[in-house]
Amino acid sequence: MYISRLAGLVSQWASSMLLAAGFLILFACQSGDAEDVLDTRYRFEKPANFPEPTYTFENNPVTPQGFQLGRRLFFDPILSRDGSVACSNCHQQGLAFADGPQHPFSVGVDNRFGIRNAPPLANLAFKQEFFWDGGVTHLDFVPTNAIENELEMDESLANVVDKLNQHVEYPTLFKQAFGVDTITSPYLLHAFSQFMVMMVSANSRYDKYVRNEGETLTEGELKGMQLFEAKCGACHSGELFSDFSFRNNGISTTFSDEGRARVTEHPLDVGKFRVPSLRNVARTAPYMHNARFKTLEKVLEHYASGVQESPTLDPLLKDETQLGIPMTDEEQTLIITFLETLTDYEFVADERFRNTSQ
C-alpha cells in the first residue's frame, strides 16, 4: 500500500517535470537557442522532391561531432603521403566541390596528374555507385580510393590511421564523435561519410520552382526546361538529373581510359562513363571525364554536331541517318539557360561546409 502510493507520487512528480521540460523546449525554440539551431543544422533531411537516400544511416547516424570531424579531415592534407594533398584540393566548395578549369585532371602528390576530372560532390547520400566508372559501391569506401591511389594521395589507409592516432587533437575528436579510445579506419570513413551525406544540394531556383516555394522561371528558362526534357532527359533523368547508367557519349573514337570497362572488364563497356548529375553544372567546368570541354556551349555543340562513332557509342546518340541529338543553336542556348537554374547558391556558400580549422 505504502509502496504503491509512493510510486503514484513519483509518477506525478515525473509528469510535472515532463511538463516543465516541455515548457523549456517551447521556450528554447522560441528564443532560437543556439543548441537547438545546431541540432537542425546537422540533421540529414531528404528534400521533398528527391528520391529516398541510399546511405546506411542506421550504421552511421550523423551527429554534430561526427560531421565536424569529417569536415576537418576533408580539409586536412594529413591524409596524403607527404602532407601535401587534402580532399579539398580537388573538391572546392565555390565550384560545387568540383575542381577548377586550371586543373582539368586532379593533381596529386609530387604534382602527379590523375587520369580524370574530379567530379563535383553533392547529394552523395542518394547515389549507389561512385566515381566515373562506378567501381565503388558504398559512400564509406570513396575516400579510401583517393587516399590509396598513387596518382592522388598515394598513402595507405593504415598509415593515415597511425598518423591520426599520434596526432595531438584527433584522438580526442574521435572519442567525442564515436566514443572510441583508438582510431580505426571504419570510424575515419564514417566521419567522412557524415560530412559528405550532409552535402545536399536542393535549393536551386529550379528546386524552389518545382516545390512551389514562390520561385518563378522565365519564359526562356521554361522553354529550355521543355527542350532539356525532350533532348537530354532520357539520360539526365529525375530530380538528380542522371539515371546513373554508364554510356559512351561519343567524345572520342578510341579510349585510352576504358572507363566502366576498367571495372567490368567487358569490351562492351569500353568508353562508357557514368552519366553525371547536372546539379550545379554551370559551376563545374571543365566537362566530361577527361575535361574535354571548357564550356557548356561546347558540350551542347558536341551533342548537336560533334558526336563520334565507335563500337560502344550509346544507341540514343545515333539513328540510321545521323549521329548526335539534333538541336538548333537557339535550342542549345535555351537549354543552357535552363541548366543555369540548377545552380544552388546556398549550397556553394553554405558555411557548414567551410574550412573552419584555419
Residues binding other proteins (CB under 8 A): 56, 59-60, 133, 135-141, 144-145, 148-150, 154, 156-158, 160-161, 178, 180, 184-187, 189-190, 193, 262-266, 268-269
Cβ nearer to other proteins, comparing 83 with 306: 83
3-state helix, strand, coil in the chain (%, to 5): 50, 5, 45
In whole angstroms, what is the distance from residue 112 CA to residue 115 CA?
10
The CB-of-151 to other proteins minimum distance in angstroms stands at 12
The CB-of-78 to other proteins minimum distance in angstroms stands at 14
Cβ nearer to other proteins, comparing 57 with 209: 57
Cβ nearer to other proteins, comparing 185 with 333: 185
Cβ nearer to other proteins, comparing 265 with 346: 265
Cβ nearer to other proteins, comparing 91 with 231: 91
Backbone dihedral region for residue 66 (phi beyond 0: left; psi -120 to 50: alpha; all else: beta): alpha
Taking CA atoms, 155 is separated from 119, 209, 342, in Å, by 21, 45, 36
The CB-of-270 to other proteins minimum distance in angstroms stands at 12
User: What cell numbers appear for 324 in the block?
Assistant: 548526335
The CB-of-180 to other proteins minimum distance in angstroms stands at 8
The CB-of-128 to other proteins minimum distance in angstroms stands at 9
105 close to 90: Cβ distance less than 8 angstroms = no
Taking CA atoms, 98 is separated from 120, 178, 214, 225, 288, in Å, by 4, 29, 30, 24, 12
The residue type of 221 is: E
Q: How far apart are the first and last CA of the chain?
A: 65
85 close to 152: Cβ distance less than 8 angstroms = yes
The CB-of-304 to other proteins minimum distance in angstroms stands at 30
The residue type of 80 is: S
